[in-house]
Amino acid sequence: MKILVANLGSTSLKWRLFDFAVGQERLLHKGGFERVADYAQAIEDCLAELKRSGAIQHESELAAVGFKTIMARGINGCVRLDQQVLQAMEFYNQIAPAHNPPYVTGIRLFARRMPDTPLIGLFETAFYQWAPEAAMRYAVPQAWHELGVRRWGFHGASHKFIAERSAELLGREDVALRVRQLYVDGGRSPVRQPELRVISCHLGGSSSVTGILNGVAIGNSLGMSPQSGLPQNNRVGDLDAFALPFLMRTARLTLDEAERVLCQESGLKALSGGANDIRDIQAQAAQGDPRAQLALDTLVHQARHWIGAFHLELNGADALVFTAGIGENQTRIRQAICAQLEQLGIALDSAANDRVRAQESVISTPASRVKVMVIPTNEELVVAREAKRLLENSKN
């Protein structure tokens, strides 16, 4: 069974094609285009490239196209993307302006191009469906809560991948099995004692930290929107809600302008004075730019803040995992996040940390109570697995 997973940005299309045969999962092809001006043409070019590479002969071989969709009103989990779901996604366009609109547009174009192929979305909010209510509520009136003003949590596909893979690497097949079953039984598969407590740090252009107990998320640093939590590349991260009316009244910003600045001119970009890529910010900091150093320090401070929160909620941790562009590659950021945490049982092995980039590895000392690990994420594989499961279940 071949499943294509398409990652849709406002000007990019990236994809991975998986083949699921009995008992195996194979990546057949991956590719992408940046600076896309004509999305319909990009889809055409993607299909042409899949054929040219020999990965498929014809698009009818694709059992489904899967998407890492963000959020939709009243819809969660893994679903077929019909008109009703697309409208429910559009309802939250303003909450996820960098994500939902390109997905809705791109999915409609896929539907037009491949009307007979199932299009399936795994929502990024799905992993948090079983988090305790107290961790997901904002203290707002019930009517606001029902409109969606609550913590949703995002990066669900990535943190789910880490939940499963970390359990496998820690020799806890029972917990890995629970993660695999999560969207079927809601985390009811039995697990052995002792409990497995994992803190997953997805640090990249967009960052979040999640606490995971026995394979099930207990919360996420991202709140109602993917602009919250840690400072993101251009997006603000956590901000007191009263800042917005204050700015609108005092600095006379319009709502549209304030929203644009919060989404496009804030986060690391605002702190550093322009750069939003950690490599550029580090180069600036190395030249003595205090704004760049502040951007790095703020990211580290916020990551530690959330690691601390989940460490407390989990009553300790068995593993602290780093993933995504920064988490997998940025040795100095990992070092700074783990500095002086021996009291919490976290002791980084500096030499191992310096060596490891984008490969599965333990980077803590043998004496460290918490295993600090690097695990490259694979969000597309999680989407493909769930799409496959949905197809199989709908046949039965």
Q: Which residues bind ligand AMP (CB under 6 A)?
A: 204-205, 277-279, 324-326, 329-330
CA atoms within 13 A on the CB side of 22: 0
Residue linked to tokens 């302006």: 97
- Please report how close the Cβ of residue 148 comes to ligand AMP at its closest, in angstroms: 25
- Please report how close the Cβ of residue 330 comes to ligand AMP at its closest, in angstroms: 5
Residues 6+ apart with CB under 8 A from 356: 331, 363, 374
Taking the least distance from each CB to ligand AMP, the nearer of 296 and 307 is 296
- Please report how close the Cβ of residue 75 comes to ligand AMP at its closest, in angstroms: 25
- Please report how close the Cβ of residue 323 comes to ligand AMP at its closest, in angstroms: 8
CA 10/CA 169 separation, integer angstroms: 36
**Looking at residue 91, what DSSP letter applies?**
T
Distance separating the N- and C-terminal Cα atoms of the chain: 16
Alpha helices in the chain (DSSP H): 39-52, 83-90, 100-113, 133-136, 142-147, 156-169, 173-185, 243-250, 255-264, 267-272, 278-286, 290-313, 324-329, 331-337, 350-355, 379-395
- Amino acid 2 reads K
CB atoms within 10 A of CB 139: 5
Instruction: From 7, 28, 8, select the one nearest 18 (Cα to Cα).
Output: 28
59: left (phi over 0), alpha (psi -120 to 50) or beta: alpha
Taking the least distance from each CB to ligand AMP, the nearer of 210 and 330 is 330
- Amino acid 305 reads H
- Please report how close the Cβ of residue 277 comes to ligand AMP at its closest, in angstroms: 4
- Please report how close the Cβ of residue 204 comes to ligand AMP at its closest, in angstroms: 2
Taking the least distance from each CB to ligand AMP, the nearer of 232 and 364 is 232
Taking the least distance from each CB to ligand AMP, the nearer of 155 and 172 is 155
- Please report how close the Cβ of residue 329 comes to ligand AMP at its closest, in angstroms: 3
Taking the least distance from each CB to ligand AMP, the nearer of 174 and 289 is 289
Residues 6+ apart with CB under 8 A from 138: 144, 145, 149, 150, 151, 223, 224
Taking the least distance from each CB to ligand AMP, the nearer of 76 and 330 is 330
Taking the least distance from each CB to ligand AMP, the nearer of 226 and 325 is 325
- Please report how close the Cβ of residue 12 comes to ligand AMP at its closest, in angstroms: 11
CA distances from 296 to 303, 338, 376 (A): 11, 14, 22
Taking the least distance from each CB to ligand AMP, the nearer of 281 and 314 is 281
- Residue of this chain nearest to ligand AMP (CB atom): 325
- Please report how close the Cβ of residue 78 comes to ligand AMP at its closest, in angstroms: 23
Taking the least distance from each CB to ligand AMP, the nearer of 31 and 205 is 205
Residue linked to tokens 């530690």: 304
